[in-house]
Structure 1
């Protein structure tokens, strides 16, 4: 009984700790949304004089949200979607009246035009929602529709203004996503090394599945870089970080290539195990060494300078793999050559992630260790 109570208490503590971590991570975006909503309501209601400016604070909150992802685009899509829905609704309802089939027709037409025009999810959703409001709440011919377009513009502008004046730290968020993706790259390298060392088909298959699951992390890393660049472009306080963001942009690009090459390596490792092909004995250790090199790259994230420690470790792992392939001790099968070639390709990608261009990375691998 005591043990069950203790386990329950432990689960509750973990949930509370997880909730507090989420709250800390979202604290600034919550403040941004709250301030932007208040500002939008004040401008639309007190300064502009709209009687029911409910859409201004709604637009401000939607344009900001709790994430960094494409806030400027979200604000633009919001304004365009609302304006499109209001325009279609006002024009049609004034001619055909309101009712069930009129509502269906207006919503379908507004959303179809939105899809044809851009296809952005928020534009389409807001066009449909605004058409519904015009059809059901605003009598034809009143100025409510025009006021709501103005409110959407005020809310979107308020959101962008608050994002600029109270900006989140874009580097911190990008760093977190980059570390997450690179940690997974390290984990897959070590999993493949274990599979080769133990000649374990199931472990190799699991490593292949895991490597395929890394793409969403890469996509999130790219999205974080794009969103952080938006913050740096609209906020004067964050513009000095644009040089660092450019390095993260290159890191995201090269990490994507490295992960793609890792999938090829993992498939070939599985093939070698299934076909009983001999591979160099030290290849598993080399993959572990490459994983350690990626760990060094993780340790140098955010460093505004050359990543020499990571470069040296990546070079050493590639040279070691090349030396293993030249070992005349065993008649290695075709998989061995592919595995070594993929180690080299991953090394070139990672060297470019440290700031070298492709020619410099290839030259670094040609140099005698």
Structure 2
């Protein structure tokens, strides 16, 4: 019962954190959908206004960090579907067979012009709409294109001008839980290595692998914040502050990947019953501590000197471990510690040359 309650509590906390992270997206989508419907239906008197709010929601929700590009893809797909659909239907008419042919040709043309999945979806769905209408029905090509323009344009206006996210705040909220999870599993792996608990080490590895989706979400949030600071005049003053997060994000992604590989090798080390000098798990634990300190320094807006110092402590510990009789997997774990510390030092503001020099890479 205690374990079940702990699991429920953890899931509830994760759900609340996800809601805090993406609530601004829900607000943006709702506002963009309402405005798009109003413009398409009331101002433009569009006979098919439903696609305008659908386009707005798709632009905001489907590509959080690339709203402008998403709008361009939306319009490109619609225009392509309209051109191909109108041309073929004018020659062979409409119906189920014609609809299938129109869709196949529209998507093929999108592929020829190197359109991505979004362009192909819009080209295909537009072709379906045009190919399935009755010949006597009103022409939907122009309304469909107008709706795409209205929905995509309003989505961009809402996301960048009317209700732009606070780039630094959302990055804080996204990065915090991810770094905590990252550091906690490194601590678990270090303790497992120190005690020879292969099951605990494997559990830490599984948790790191499962956290890949959360890491990608954090990357997506950073991309959204970058777009806002680049294009929204209300957020330009945040550019310098966010630039530090962008640099850190790139290196922390590499540190995450290499740490996961390191924990995988910890499992192999324990399975092979190789020798474990005390400094090896200490180095992993110390690196996890430096991750936590890096996040605190970022939150406080100060230079991460403390995090750098702790990372260098991890380097010293792993150097002492290398002076002992490490096995095959143990040497790989030690090498991975050097690599992840190097990435953290660069995330903390060091140049690659400086990090290579002090981390021994």
Q: Normalising by the residue count of structure 2, what TM-score does the alignment of the two structures yield?
A: 0.86
The alpha-carbon deviation at position 53 of structure 1 amounts to 3.5
Find the aligned partners of 2:354 and 2:88 in 1 and give their Cα distance.
Answer: 63
Find the aligned partners of 1:171 and 1:243 in 2 and give their Cα distance.
Answer: 11
The alpha-carbon deviation at position 105 of structure 1 amounts to 0.7
5+ residue gaps, structure 1, are none
Maintained 8 Å contact 1:98/1:135:
yes
Find the aligned partners of 1:300 and 1:152 in 2 and give their Cα distance.
Answer: 44
Maintained 8 Å contact 2:283/2:313:
no
Find the aligned partners of 1:23 and 1:335 in 2 and give their Cα distance.
Answer: 41
Maintained 8 Å contact 1:290/1:314:
yes
Equivalent residue, structure 2, for 1:232: 229
Equivalent residue, structure 2, for 1:107: 103
Find the aligned partners of 1:68 and 1:47 in 2 and give their Cα distance.
Answer: 28
Does the C-alpha gap of structure 1 residues 210 and 116 become closer, same or farther in structure 2, counting only changes over 3 Å? farther
Write the deviation string for residues 20-56 of structure 1: whole angstroms up to 9, x where unpaired: 7766655443333333234334444454454444432
Equivalent residue, structure 2, for 1:212: 209
Equivalent residue, structure 2, for 1:151: 147
Find the aligned partners of 1:27 and 1:188 in 2 and give their Cα distance.
Answer: 28
Instruction: Say yes or no: does 1:91 pair with 2:116.
Output: no
Q: C-alpha root-mean-square deviation of aligned residues, in Å? A: 3.0
Does the C-alpha gap of structure 1 residues 14 and 104 become closer, same or farther in structure 2, counting only changes over 3 Å? same
Maintained 8 Å contact 1:98/1:136:
yes
Q: After alignment, is 165-174 or 51-60 more displaced?
A: 51-60
Equivalent residue, structure 2, for 1:349: 343
Equivalent residue, structure 1, for 2:355: 361
Instruction: Say yes or no: does 1:198 pair with 2:204.
Output: no
Written as runs of structure 1 = structure 2, the 5 A alignment for 1:253-272 is 253-272=250-269
Find the aligned partners of 1:15 and 1:252 in 2 and give their Cα distance.
Answer: 25
Maintained 8 Å contact 2:194/2:276:
no
Equivalent residue, structure 1, for 2:165: 168
Find the aligned partners of 2:107 and 2:119 in 1 and give their Cα distance.
Answer: 8
Q: Secondary structure at the match of 2:349?
A: coil
Equivalent residue, structure 2, for 1:279: 276
Does the C-alpha gap of structure 1 residues 291 and 240 become closer, same or farther in structure 2, counting only changes over 3 Å? same
Equivalent residue, structure 2, for 1:130: 126
Q: Normalising by the residue count of structure 1, what TM-score does the alignment of the two structures yield?
A: 0.84
Maintained 8 Å contact 1:90/1:141:
no
Name the count of aligned residue pairs: 355
Maintained 8 Å contact 2:63/2:70:
no
Find the aligned partners of 1:273 and 1:35 in 2 and give their Cα distance.
Answer: 54
Q: After alignment, is 128-137 or 178-187 more displaced?
A: 178-187
Instruction: Say yes or no: does 1:337 pair with 2:334.
Output: no
Does the C-alpha gap of structure 1 residues 27 and 200 become closer, same or farther in structure 2, counting only changes over 3 Å? closer
Bigger radius of gyration: 1
Equivalent residue, structure 1, for 2:66: 70
The alpha-carbon deviation at position 237 of structure 1 amounts to 1.0
The alpha-carbon deviation at position 101 of structure 1 amounts to 0.5
Find the aligned partners of 2:226 and 2:59 in 1 and give their Cα distance.
Answer: 17
Find the aligned partners of 1:18 and 1:353 in 2 and give their Cα distance.
Answer: 26
Does the C-alpha gap of structure 1 residues 57 and 199 become closer, same or farther in structure 2, counting only changes over 3 Å? closer
Find the aligned partners of 1:332 and 1:168 in 2 and give their Cα distance.
Answer: 50
Maintained 8 Å contact 1:164/1:234:
yes
Maintained 8 Å contact 1:255/1:350:
yes
